């Protein structure tokens, strides 16, 4: 049976016979269906979803049992109760649920589209540029096949990366971005069990700790109206400065044999995208790393306060999660290599220390009031001296910032 790219198999027991027009027509129809990218975007997202689902089916995607769903909803309910005195923001959870790995992919795909389409568009454009100018006029409508091929290649490899991520993430907000539907708190029981086994910590404690983090993320993103757009815009601004390595594309495409679909399965897109070494791109990177660190640092600090001496393994869990977020898992590293984006907060410990200092100086209400406007938040420079920031910001007045626009003057 001939394989088509990214682990799919074409129907039919035997490879197509080149001398049989009917078999070859059927084979080409199947390829055309696979490469038919719905919509007008540069990525074949339908293929990406299918590839992720196929990969998860091969590696295993346990269904969520009634017991697991009940345990997750109870953990999220308890987490919200524990967070009440540790946060000035009320619960942000409208729907508490448990997902399997495929459901994580399905429910986060819309945000991945926003993040990846601009980068993929530049790759597809660069692939078209490889065609000599004098040949483009002769190709005519056939030139659109280059874009279709690029969308399929990118969609297939994104699907592989998302499938790997789905096997590692513990919750909807696990990598620090608001990926899921607003107000939906979701845990992935199968991944929590695997992660807890590796730590040798009871599953119920790991589940509750993950629930605390998920519930804290929901409070932050639900009750800070400008934050979702601010975080996603920081990612998009950084992504807009990523350039396409045309030589890498040309080298990768030279290995593709149109008569051998398996050759596309081995095609690697890693290394095609590289950040520009410009002052603007460096500033965009600092902004992205700062906002990711502030979100993750706040979540970690609030969870530590909420868990206190209630959760026996809280210290061990907190340290394990900080290491995990700072280093990024294998799937995050694969994703970073593919699209040039590292979604990990490099200054997580400094951000955590800063939030501790602000809480000590201003209390829970004063700390969370800093989220009222982006211009109140600490900057990258403030990480160096948390005590100075906590003292200096103690008498800031949000009224001084009224009339600055839509509440996100940094975008």
The predicted model gives 270-286 an average pLDDT of 75
pLDDT at 9: 39
The confidence band for 406, taking pLDDT boundaries of 50, 70 and 90, is very low
114 assigned to some structural domain: yes
The predicted model gives 293-322 an average pLDDT of 93
9 assigned to some structural domain: no
d(CA 59, CA 65): 19
The predicted model gives 280-291 an average pLDDT of 84
Contacts of 24 (CB under 8 A, 6+ apart): 16, 17, 18
2 assigned to some structural domain: no
The mean pLDDT of the chain is 80
What's the number of domains the chain is made of? 1
209 assigned to some structural domain: yes
77 assigned to some structural domain: yes
Q: By the 8 A CB rule, do 73 and 97 touch?
A: yes
Strand partners, 242: 275
Using the predicted structure, report yes or no on whether residue 145 has a pLDDT greater than 90: no
pLDDT at 34: 53
pLDDT at 309: 87
Using the predicted structure, report yes or no on whether residue 40 has a pLDDT greater than 50: yes
Using the predicted structure, report yes or no on whether residue 215 has a pLDDT greater than 90: yes
d(CA 269, CA 150): 11
The confidence band for 270, taking pLDDT boundaries of 50, 70 and 90, is low
What is the DSSP code (8-state) at residue 96?
Answer: E
Using the predicted structure, report yes or no on whether residue 86 has a pLDDT greater than 90: yes
pLDDT at 408: 45
Q: Where are the beta strands (DSSP E) in 149-280?
A: 184-187, 242-244, 273-275
In terms of pLDDT, which residue wins out, 10 or 131? 131
25 assigned to some structural domain: no
Determine what percent of the chain is predicted with pLDDT higher than 90: 44
**Choice among 49-53, 65-69, 136-140, 375-379 with the minimum mean pLDDT:** 136-140
Q: What 3-state class would DSSP assign to 349?
A: helix
In terms of pLDDT, which residue wins out, 343 or 305? 305
d(CA 239, CA 242): 5
Using the predicted structure, report yes or no on whether residue 359 has a pLDDT greater than 90: yes
In terms of pLDDT, which residue wins out, 141 or 12? 141
28 assigned to some structural domain: no
Using the predicted structure, report yes or no on whether residue 194 has a pLDDT greater than 60: yes
- Per-residue HEC secondary structure of 360-411 comes to HHHHHHHHHHHHHCHHHCCCCHHHHCHHHHHHHHHHCCHHHHCCCCCCCCCC
- The model's pTM is 0.81
Provide the CA 160 distance to its chain's centre, in angstroms.
Answer: 14
The confidence band for 248, taking pLDDT boundaries of 50, 70 and 90, is confident
Query: How confident is the model over 321-340, as pLDDT tens digits?
Result: 888 877 776 556 666 665 66
pLDDT at 377: 93
pLDDT at 334: 60
Domain that includes residue 151, residue range: 43-401
pLDDT at 43: 82
Pick the closest to residue 345 from 401, 402, 286 (CA basis).
286
Using the predicted structure, report yes or no on whether residue 397 has a pLDDT greater than 70: no
d(CA 342, CA 339): 9
pLDDT at 302: 97
Which strand (E) or helix (H) includes residue 152? helix 144-166
Query: How confident is the model over 165-174, as pLDDT tens digits?
Result: 999 999 999 8
**Choice among 115-124, 160-169, 220-229 with the minimum mean pLDDT:** 115-124
Residue positions counted in the chain: 411
In terms of pLDDT, which residue wins out, 267 or 312? 312
Using the predicted structure, report yes or no on whether residue 266 has a pLDDT greater than 60: no
3 assigned to some structural domain: no
pLDDT at 25: 63
């Amino acid at each position: 049976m001939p394989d088509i790219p990214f682990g799919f198999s074409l129907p039919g027991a035997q490879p197509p016979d080149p001398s049989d027009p009917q078999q070859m027509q059927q084979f080409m129809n199947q390829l055309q269906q696979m490469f038919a990218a719905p919509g007008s975007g540069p990525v074949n997202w339908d293929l990406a979803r299918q590839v992720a689902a196929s990969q998860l089916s091969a590696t295993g995607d346990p269904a969520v049992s009634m017991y697991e769903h009940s345990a997750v909803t109870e953990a999220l309910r308890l987490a919200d109760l524990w967070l009440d005195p540790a946060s000035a923001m009320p619960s942000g959870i409208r729907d508490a649920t448990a997902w399997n790995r495929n459901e994580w992919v399905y429910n986060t795909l819309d945000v991945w589209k926003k993040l990846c389409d601009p980068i993929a568009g530049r790759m597809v454009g660069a692939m078209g540029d490889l065609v000599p100018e004098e040949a483009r006029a002769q190709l005519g409508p056939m030139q659109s096949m280059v874009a279709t091929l690029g969308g399929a290649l990118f969609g297939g490899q994104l699907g592989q990366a998302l499938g790997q991520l789905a096997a590692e993430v513990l919750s909807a907000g696990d990598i620090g971005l608001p990926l899921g539907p607003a107000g939906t708190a979701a845990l992935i029981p199968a991944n929590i069990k695997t992660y807890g086994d590796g730590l040798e910590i009871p599953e119920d404690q790991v589940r509750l700790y993950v629930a605390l983090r998920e519930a804290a993320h929901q409070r932050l993103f639900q009750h800070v109206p400008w934050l979702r757009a601010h975080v996603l815009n920081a990612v998009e601004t950084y992504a807009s400065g990523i350039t396409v390595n045309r030589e890498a594309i040309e080298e990768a495409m030279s290995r593709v044999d149109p008569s051998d679909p398996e050759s596309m399965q081995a095609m690697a897109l890693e290394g095609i995208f590289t950040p520009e070494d410009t002052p603007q791109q460096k500033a965009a990177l600092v902004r992205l790393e700062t906002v990711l660190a502030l979100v993750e640092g706040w979540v970690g600090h609030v969870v530590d306060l909420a868990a206190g001496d209630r959760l026996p393994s809280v210290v061990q869990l907190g340290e394990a999660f900080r290491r995990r977020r700072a280093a990024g898992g294998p799937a995050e590293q694969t994703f970073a290599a593919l699209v040039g984006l590292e979604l990990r907060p490099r200054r997580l410990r400094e951000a955590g220390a800063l939030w501790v200092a602000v809480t000590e100086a201003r209390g829970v209400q004063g700390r969370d009031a800093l989220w009222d406007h982006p211009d109140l938040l600490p900057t990258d420079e403030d990480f160096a001296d948390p005590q100075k920031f906590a003292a200096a910001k103690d008498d800031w007045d949000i009224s001084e910032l009224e009339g600055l626009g839509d509440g996100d003057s940094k975008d």
